[in-house]
Amino acid sequence: MIYPAYYKIVIPNQATFSQDFQFKDSLGSPIDLTNYNIRAAMWTEDKRVKLADFVLLWTDRLVGKFNLSLSEQKTAAMTRNGMWDLLVVNPDGTEDYWMRGPAIMAKGFTK
């Protein structure tokens, strides 16, 4: 079992959210994520209501790089903070949560 890293994200309300990630091992070497799959979602803290599924785009699997995003339309509909997590599906089919933390909605003023 992997204990997930705690990572806070800030999501701009009524704007596109896009954040790059790279996974590295304990020595700082990139992790090859070929044949791995990743899913990420945001829920209310009590996990009763799913607030969003993140879109994942691989930017370089060989060095563990990917991007998570939400469209402007999706963030416009989101009105509350929540918790997010990232689930990694290993090549053997087992699943581990590698990241989790608060997802804070940052109110925008310019429109």
- The predicted model scores a pTM of 0.91
Tell which phi-psi region holds residue 16, choosing left (phi > 0), alpha (psi between -120 and 50) or beta: beta
Q: What is the mean pLDDT of residues 4-11?
A: 95
Instruction: For residues 34-40, give the mean pLDDT.
Output: 97
Q: Name the pairing type of β-strands 95-106 and 5-6.
A: parallel
Given this model, what pLDDT does residue 1 score?
A: 62
Domain spans in the chain, listed from the N-terminal domain onward: 5-106
Please write the tens of the pLDDT for every residue from 48-105: 999 999 999 999 999 999 999 999 999 999 989 999 999 999 999 999 999 999 999 9
> Which CATH code for domain 5-106?
2.60.40.10
